[in-house]
Amino acid sequence: MVLGSVRKSALPKSLLFGTLLALGPGVSGAAPVPDSARLDLMRAEAARWNHFRVTSALERHELEHLTLDSLGVILAAPLRRPAVIAGGPAPPVQSSVIRWSDIDRIDAGRSHAISGFFQGALVGGMAGVTAGFIYANNAEGEAALGAVSAPIVGILLGGFVGASIGGSPKWETFYP
């Protein structure tokens, strides 16, 4: 049976979809807008983290600093490089806002790249000293001087590997 141009089997699905759209973001999965007390608490909590991932239905942003407002998350204005030849004052750069109604979730993470570098440098340095002693004991004459570079290479290589391993943030849900 056909009702106008809509088939009878499609009528309940279209009514459900229209009802979800009419009820707004509270039903469709978006988190509620935080009040001023919750915003202050979130701002204080954001100081513990050094990486943030803001996810909406259409895009995902990774930020180093989270700026919260009653409208949503404020994205920092893009940095401008100075021109070789200045042509007058540059137009002001507008920062964009991701509205609370568009935000699905905010994740917070902490990178441990610096401590990872030092831990890796320590392990790499010990391995380099060991390799240097082995090389120096088996080499003769001036060739033994090559063992001096082994600890330096070990420190740099270990630091790079440690920073790479510790540099990826461990994500936790920040909002909602």
Sorting pLDDT into bands at 50, 70 and 90, what band is 45? Answer: confident
pTM over 0.75: no
**Tokens at 62, concatenated:** 């990774």
What mean pLDDT comes out for the span 63-84? 74
Confidence (pLDDT) at 31 = 64
- What CA–CA distance (Å, rounded) separates 63 from 55? 11
Determine the Cα–Cα distance for residues 111 and 114; give it in Å rounded to an integer.
8
What pLDDT is recorded for position 13?
45
6: phi then psi, degrees, rounded to nearest 5:
-105, 130
Q: Please tell me whether residue 71 adopts helix, strand or coil conformation.
A: coil
**Domain parsing of the chain, residue ranges:** 27-76+93-110, 114-168
Q: Are strands 51-56 and 103-110 parallel, antiparallel or unpaired?
A: antiparallel
Q: What is the mean pLDDT of the chain?
A: 75
**Region 113-125 average pLDDT:** 89
Distance CA 114, CA 165 (A): 11
The β-bridge partners of 127 are: none
Token pair recorded at residue 106: 């905010």
